[in-house]
Amino acid sequence: MAADTPGAAGSRRPRTVACPQCGATVEWRPENRFRPFCSERCRLIDLGAWATEDYRVPEHVKPMDESGE
């Protein structure tokens, strides 16, 4: 049996992932510091979403007490 692997086609392609934020195809490269996001914007949006989720502070709306003359 000859060890001829039936075409390893496509193994040279750069690995790509889908941006969790907008779904754009992102090349997973070391130079892409925003991975798995496509851009800094998407990364910030995602981080912001998490922060918001974590930062769910109850709305403490104090009645404005302006009884000081």
Residue 21 near Zn ion by CB under 5 A = yes
Q: How far is the CB of 33 from Zn ion (least distance, A)?
A: 14
Residues 36-65 binding Zn ion (CB under 5 A) are 38, 42
Stretch that binds Zn ion, among 2-10, 22-30, 45-53, 55-63 (CB under 5 A): 22-30
d(CA 9, CA 11): 6
Cα distance between residue 25 and residue 51, in whole Å: 25
Q: Which residues bind Zn ion (CB under 5 A)?
A: 19, 21-22, 24, 38, 42
